[in-house]
Structure 1
Amino acid sequence: MSSKHRVVVLKIVVGELSVTDAAEGYGISRRHLHRLLARYREHGLEGLEALSRAPKSSPHAATDRVRDRIVQLRSALTAAGTDAGPITIAWHLGQEGLRAPSTSTIRRILHAAGLIMPEPRKRPRSSFVRFEAAQPNETWQSDFTHWRLADATDVEILNWLDDHSRLLLSCTAHHPVTGRTVVDTFRAAVDTYGPPASTLTDNGRVYTARHARARNEFEYVLAALGIVQKNGAPNHPQTQGKIERFHQTLKRWLAARPRAHTIPELQAQLDQFRDHYNTARPHRAHGTTPAAAYAATAKAAPAGHSDHTHYRVRHDHVGTNGKISFRRAGRMHHLGVGALHRGAPVILIADDTTITVVATRTGEIIASNQIQPDKTYWRNTMKAPGRWPEAFKP
């Protein structure tokens, strides 16, 4: 195009063509021809070369300091076993008060530094269809994964993860995970965060006994609290994809540290990881930390649950007198259950008004006691008033 401009401008300059004739003959606007003539008069023929449209300066261009810091963060985060992608690096730059360039610019800087290897066979993110709960506490996912101690002892790490915010609610080491472990860790999470509207797990026996056409302890606790239980389809781990990917994140972090020798030592590492995961790294889904995402939105709750309702879940045995002792607000009370259930292992589920007693072995609700703070004895409202059970009557 510049050679055409030269010919036209020269013909106008020597008087061979007028501006109007040149515009018609060469298909160039009169306005542009006048601009070309002005550039010729100021710079000569070199002034007719095509000019770059790029701005003379870009306030958003990455400075050398930012480029160096991007490379440093990539190396440091990778060595720490944590996420080191462009989104995470941009978040850390912002935390340090530096202007973060776009994630595509960060990716180009990492490519230029040889810190990203091409993955032509990698599945594009646009092909994934992902589902996410709309609110915190709408769904809690749970699963456990295996890890080895320094002496090759196999232990299991049980996790509870909020589906919406990805907040790590609980992360504990066990040898092994049992049904009681699931109930105890779930109960502790409920005490801290309130009950979820639903749970999502696989079909492992610690979560469900439906494969045996029965209910286990965890299922009875969920039913008593009005929590919907969801289980993934057999042989389809993608249903619990979030927590499966989380296990990869957890193991990368653990692998970057000395292997623990004992379960308490491993638990200390897990506590450190949980704090880091929740508060010191952004999650791709929200571009902020799980703790911030969890706090930013109103919480879901089981149907019929009030935000002010508080639950207590306790394991106990019915006494030889058919009663259970229960302390509330510093005062001891006695729950009537029934002599027929003497010695039976039970689960007590207390809310603000009622205590429900569930037989651990059968899952049957064997007593319901109304909370009466001014009375020492709370009778079983499922039984008609009377001193002796039917079996003891003459």
Structure 2
Amino acid sequence: MGKHKNLVIVKAVIEQGLSVSQTARKYGISRQWVYTLLHRYQQHGPEALTTGSRTPTRHPHRTPGAVRERILALRSQLHTDGADAGAETIAWHLRNEGHHAPSKATIHRILRAAGLVTDEPRKRPKSSLRRFAASLPNETWQADITYWRLRTGMRVEILDFLDDHSRYLLSLQAHLPCTGATVVSTMHELIGIYGPPASTLTDNGLVFTSRLASRPGARNGFEILLATEGIQQKNGSPGHPQTQGKIERFHQTLKRWLAAQQPATSLGQLQDQLDEFRQWYNHHRPHRGIGRRTPSQAYTALPKATPETTPPGSYRTRIDTIDPYGKVTIRYAGKLRHLGIGRAYAGTDVLLLIDQNHVSTSSTETGEIIAEHRIDPDRDYQPRYNPE
């Protein structure tokens, strides 16, 4: 109903002398609406007769202006710093500053209203992902080498070690180049600081393993150091970088942060930036994968695993040799179970890690995981488990 008709209704009462009931019947409206229009006219004049929104004029749950401004400022600051700037991260920073953080959806709406959200293609739902993480700090260290360029264009190799359970960044060093001796000395230094881990997980680079060398034979320095310390060595399957998914994702965070800094002109300047990044990453950046804690908080929250210990009551292990038919046996629920590995592995010495009904089988020579099984208690023969 427009302003003109509302004015006619008011004039019918004021100038024509119709009663409120007569006016309501004449124009097919409620008596309450007639009273409302009369009140508006008497208080604010004809301009008040425009039908407005019925939305309440007061919003007790609306995000305070100061918090909205801080949300936008944090978004800008985090982007400038090369850090994660999503709604969950912004909420974490708000809480740390003593603000009452709105919900993730509310923060997202505020960012969208300010034109700070870019729509992305629909992603795979998180519920469809299978996450594998160590149960304790020092249960598995992941290591890898990535690359960065100085302002001069020179390519630098960056060696990093990451604790799988807590995402704690144990070491981050720039080298020209990173050699096998560098990896050994870094690992030896880390063992002196944090103690030896129960296992390591790397790709098949020659600085980590010689098992895929053109002339395989004697183990390299890193393999000898691990064997001396009793540390289990695990290597991802060739061409399957998802095995080292955590450290690959870490490299994205590192490079986004480096890209936001002034380009380093020397190896020493780049190392200074890496040291600053490590401090921020470990102690000031909330990590989604560990419940929005910092890696430092997660690393210090639980006792550390060692080569001689595994999570209490979680694992048992045994050494075996795959028989000529490609099988090994374990005892589960009081009965022997035959695990199918494959005839191609006949005669291979293997280590079996048994966690409840899950069995992971790896070569004792190379550390590569060659089969996984989910034990079905109603069966004797257990086929290989394919997580796909």
Length-normalised TM-score, structure 2:
0.63
Q: Cα gap change, 1:58/1:149 in structure 2, threshold over 3 Å: closer, same or farther?
A: same
1:283 and 2:283 matched? no
Point out the structure with max Rg over C-alpha. 1
- Name the structure 2 match of 1:254: 258
Residue type at the aligned position of 1:294: Y
Pair 1:135-2:136 in alignment? yes
**1:88 and 2:89 correspond:** yes
1:246 is paired with a residue whose SS is helix
- 2:302 corresponds to 1:297: yes
Return the letter of the residue paired with 1:202: D
Q: Distance in 2 between matches of 1:138 and 1:98?
A: 37
Q: Which amino acid aligns with 1:116?
A: V
d(CA) in 1 for partners of 2:301, 2:109: 33
8 A contact 2:137–2:303 mirrored in 1 = yes
Q: Distance in 1 between matches of 2:116 and 2:178?
A: 39
Indicate the residue corresponding to 1:223 in structure 2.
227
Candidates 277, 280, 298, aligned match of 1:273: 277
Partner of 1:243: 247
% identical aligned pairs: 58
Provide Cα deviations, 1:315-366, integer angstroms capped at 9, x if missing partner: xxxxxxxxxxxxxxxxxxxxxxxxxxxxxxxxxxxxxxxxxxxxxxxxxxxx
CA offset digits 1:66-99 (Å, max 9, x no partner): 1111111011100111111112111111111111
Alpha-carbon distance between aligned partners in 2 of 1:151 and 1:46, rounded to the nearest angstrom: 78
Per-residue CA deviations over 1:2-35 (Å, capped at 9, x if unaligned) read xxxxxxxxxxxxxxxxxxxxxxxxxxxxxxxxxx
Separation of aligned partners in 1, 2:79 and 2:309: 46
Where does 1:179-190 land on structure 2 (aligned, <5 Å)? Answer: 179-190=180-191
Structure 1 residues 156-192: Cα deviation after superposition (integer angstroms, max 9, x where no partner): 0000001111110000000111111111111222222
Q: What is the distance in 1 between the residues matched to 2:85 and 2:129? A: 21
After superposing the two structures, state which structure 1 stretch, 280-289 or 112-121, moved more. Answer: 112-121
Q: Quick one: which amino acid aligns to residue 173 of structure 1?
A: A
Render the CA deviation track for 1:105-126: whole Å, top value 9, x for unaligned: 2112111211111112433333
Any gaps of 5 or more consecutive residues in structure 2?
Answer: 1-29, 37-53, 311-388
Structure 2 SS opposite 1:233? coil
Distance 1:304 1:114, change over 3 A: closer
Q: Is the 8 A contact 2:198 2:309 kept in 1?
A: no
2:235 partner letter: N
Q: Which moved more, 1:293-302 or 1:267-276?
A: 293-302
SS where residue 210 of structure 1 aligns?
A: coil
| Cα distance per residue 1:116-141 (max 9 Å; x no partner) | 11112433333322211111111110
- Structure 1 residue runs of 4 or more that deviate by more than 4 Å after TM superposition: 43-47, 56-59
Rounded Cα–Cα distance in structure 1 between residues aligned with 2:129 and 2:64: 35
Structure 1: runs of 5 or more not aligned: 1-39, 306-394
Match of 1:106 in 2: 107
Q: After superposition, where does 1:353-364 map in structure 2 within 5 Å?
A: none
Distance in 2, matches of 1:69 and 1:97, equals 12
Report the 3-state secondary structure (helix = DSSP H, G, I; strand = E; otherwise coil) of the residue aligned with 1:177. Answer: coil
Say if 1:110 and 1:224 are closer, same or farther in 2 by CA, change over 3 A.
Answer: same
Q: In structure 2, do the counterparts of structure 1 residues 100 and 218 end up closer, same or farther at CA, with 3 Å as the change threshold?
A: same
Pick the aligned partner of 1:232 from 231, 236, 247. 236
How many residue pairs match? The answer is 261
